[in-house]
Amino acid sequence: MKHYQIAKPNITAKEKDYVKKVLESGNLSLGPMYKLFEKRFARLIGTKYACSVSSGTAGLHLAMIAAGIKAGDEIITTPFSFIASANCILYVGAKPIFVDINPDTYNLNPKLIEKAITKKTKAILVVHIFGQACDMDPIIKIAKKYRLKIIEDACESILASYKRKKVGTFGQSAVFAFYPNKQITTGEGGMIVTDNRQVYELCSSLKNQGRTSDMQWLDHKYLGYNYRLDEISAALGVAQLERIKYLINQRAKIAKMYHKYLKAHHHLLKIPVVAKGNVDTWFVYVIQVLKDIDRDCLIGELAKNGIQTKNYLPSIHLFDFYKKTFGYKVGDFPISELVSSRSLALPFYIGLKETDIKYIVRKLIDLINKA
Ligand X SMILES: *Cc1c(COP(=O)(O)O)cnc(C)c1O
Q: How many helices (H) and strands (E) does the chain have?
A: 13, 13
359 binds ligand X (CB under 6 A): no
Is-contact 235 260, C-beta < 8 A?
Answer: no
Pick from 84, 64, 279: nearest CA to 167: 279
Residue numbers 71-90 binding ligand X by CB under 6 A: 81-82, 84-85
- Which residue lies nearer to ligand X by CB, 56 or 347? 56
Give the integer Cα–Cα distance in Å for 150 and 167.
12
Residue numbers 139-178 binding ligand X by CB under 6 A: 153, 155-156, 177
Which CA distances in Å does 120 have to 9, 53, 86, 91?
41, 29, 17, 17
Sign of CA dihedral 190, 196, 200, 206: negative
Pick one of 96, 190, 237, 314: the residue that binds ligand X (CB under 6 A). 190
Q: Which segment (42-50, 53-61, 114-122, 163-171) binds ligand X by CB under 6 A? A: 53-61
- Which residue lies nearer to ligand X by CB, 192 or 298? 192
Is-contact 108 102, C-beta < 8 A?
Answer: yes
Sign of CA dihedral 138, 144, 150, 152: positive
- Which residue lies nearer to ligand X by CB, 55 or 161? 55
- Which residue lies nearer to ligand X by CB, 66 or 177? 177
Give the integer Cα–Cα distance in Å for 197 and 221.
17
127 binds ligand X (CB under 6 A): yes
Give the integer Cα–Cα distance in Å for 52 and 147.
28
Q: Taking the complex as a whole, how short is the minimal distance between the CB of residue 340 and ligand X, in angstroms?
A: 14
- Which residue lies nearer to ligand X by CB, 125 or 344? 125
Say how many C-beta atoms besides its own lie within 10 A of residue 359's C-beta. Answer: 18
- Which residue lies nearer to ligand X by CB, 139 or 367? 139
Q: Taking the complex as a whole, how short is the minimal distance between the CB of residue 313 and ligand X, in angstroms?
A: 8
- Which residue lies nearer to ligand X by CB, 183 or 301? 183
Phi then psi dihedrals of residue 286, to 5 deg:
-115, 125
Give the integer Cα–Cα distance in Å for 338 and 314.
10
55 binds ligand X (CB under 6 A): yes
Q: Taking the complex as a whole, how short is the minimal distance between the CB of residue 281 and ligand X, in angstroms?
A: 13
- Which residue lies nearer to ligand X by CB, 9 or 190? 190
Q: Taking the complex as a whole, how short is the minimal distance between the CB of residue 147 and ligand X, in angstroms?
A: 25
Q: Taking the complex as a whole, how short is the minimal distance between the CB of residue 81 and ligand X, in angstroms?
A: 5
Pick one of 57, 78, 172, 288: the residue that binds ligand X (CB under 6 A). 57
Q: Taking the complex as a whole, how short is the minimal distance between the CB of residue 156 and ligand X, in angstroms?
A: 4
Residue nearest ligand X by beta-carbon distance:
56
Query: Which of 122, 182, 207, 270 is flagged as catalytic?
Result: 182
Pick from 204, 45, 40: nearest CA to 133: 45
Residue 256 buriedness (CB in 10 A; 0-12 / 13-18 / 19+): exposed
Q: Taking the complex as a whole, how short is the minimal distance between the CB of residue 7 and ligand X, in angstroms?
A: 11
185 binds ligand X (CB under 6 A): no
Site size toward ligand X, by CB under 6 A: 14
Residue numbers 301-340 binding ligand X by CB under 6 A: none
Q: Has 182 been annotated as catalytic?
A: yes
Pick from 229, 241, 176, 310: nearest CA to 10: 241
Pairing, β 121-127 against β 149-153: parallel
Pick one of 80, 170, 179, 322: the residue that binds ligand X (CB under 6 A). 179
Q: Taking the complex as a whole, how short is the minimal distance between the CB of residue 181 and ligand X, in angstroms?
A: 8
Give the integer Cα–Cα distance in Å for 66 and 126.
16
240 binds ligand X (CB under 6 A): no
Residue 202: its H or E element: helix 197-206
Pick one of 56, 96, 168, 237: the residue that binds ligand X (CB under 6 A). 56
Name the residues annotated as catalytic: 182
* Chain positions contacting ligand X, by CB under 6 A: 55-57, 81-82, 84-85, 127, 153, 155-156, 177, 179, 190
